[in-house]
Structure 1
Amino acid sequence: MEKRELPNSTLILVFGILSILGCCCYGVLGVVFGIIALVMSKRAIEIYNADPELYTGFQNVKTGRILAIIGLALSAISIIASIIGLVFFGGFDAWQDAMEEISRQYGG
């Protein structure tokens, strides 16, 4: 019997990578891509475990799942750091005032 690729195995890997990159966007994109990758990998693992001889690409699923977990952890840290920064360092108004001051100094 011919082996075939696990459904969405490459997409799971891509979403795992995007979850790590998304942690730089205040963590929001990292959480979104990480959760999607985890849900998709859960389904792919169930399919693979039902008949392992039939599918290839399980390594992509495992790698994507690990990257998604790492991305979720980094995103959580980024979200917590953003909240702490806003609460303890003057909030949004202080940030906006600083940006206006920089804009005035540099003629923007």
Structure 2
Amino acid sequence: MEETNSQFSNFEAQSQKLPNATTVLVLGILSIITCCCYGVLSLLLGGVGLYLAKKDTLNYQQNPQAYTNYDNLKIGKILCIIGIVLGVIYLLYMIWILSVIGLDALQNPQLIEERIREITGQ
């Protein structure tokens, strides 16, 4: 029994957390939350998160037994990718809105209504 406890405590001493796993997770969450900020902030946060995730993935692949929180890193990478995709979709939507309605109409509600009527044919 004593030998088992010493092996377990030895394993705990050797295993450590990946340095950027929590940061990648937070950046992924923020990337999804900020996708409606014209898409740009989401792309930036998701890109930084993926860059940090790549560095930690390389560390993990070199010595998988030394790290304990690889699941957080995988989840963070998935959230960063989702945030980037949502950011791109929203950015494309905003570009489409600006090309259809125009920048001048965004500050004039009556002009927006006129342009929407022209588009819909009413």
Equivalent of 1:76, from 72, 78, 88? 88
**What CA distance in whole angstroms lies between the structure 1 residues aligned with 2:54 and 2:16?**
18
Structure 1 residue 56 displacement after superposition: 1.2
Normalised to the residue count of structure 2, the TM-score between the two structures is 0.77
What is the Cα-based RMSD across aligned positions, in Å? Answer: 1.2
Q: Which has the higher contact order (CA 8 A, sep 6+)?
A: 1
* Match of residue 35 from structure 1: 47
User: What whole-Å deviation, never above 9, does each CA across 1:4-60 have from its counterpart, x for those lacking one?
Assistant: 110111010000001111101111110010000000000000000000000111011
Equivalent of 1:62, from 58, 68, 74? 74
Normalised to the residue count of structure 1, the TM-score between the two structures is 0.87
* Match of residue 105 from structure 2: 94
Larger Rg: 2
**Unpaired segments of 5 or more residues in structure 1?**
100-108
**What CA distance in whole angstroms lies between the structure 2 residues aligned with 1:18 and 1:78?**
15
User: What whole-Å deviation, never above 9, does each CA across 1:76-103 have from its counterpart, x for those lacking one?
Assistant: 00000000000012x110111228xxxx
**What CA distance in whole angstroms lies between the structure 1 residues aligned with 2:55 and 2:68?**
15
Letter of the 2:62 partner, please give it. A
**What CA distance in whole angstroms lies between the structure 1 residues aligned with 2:103 and 2:81?**
30
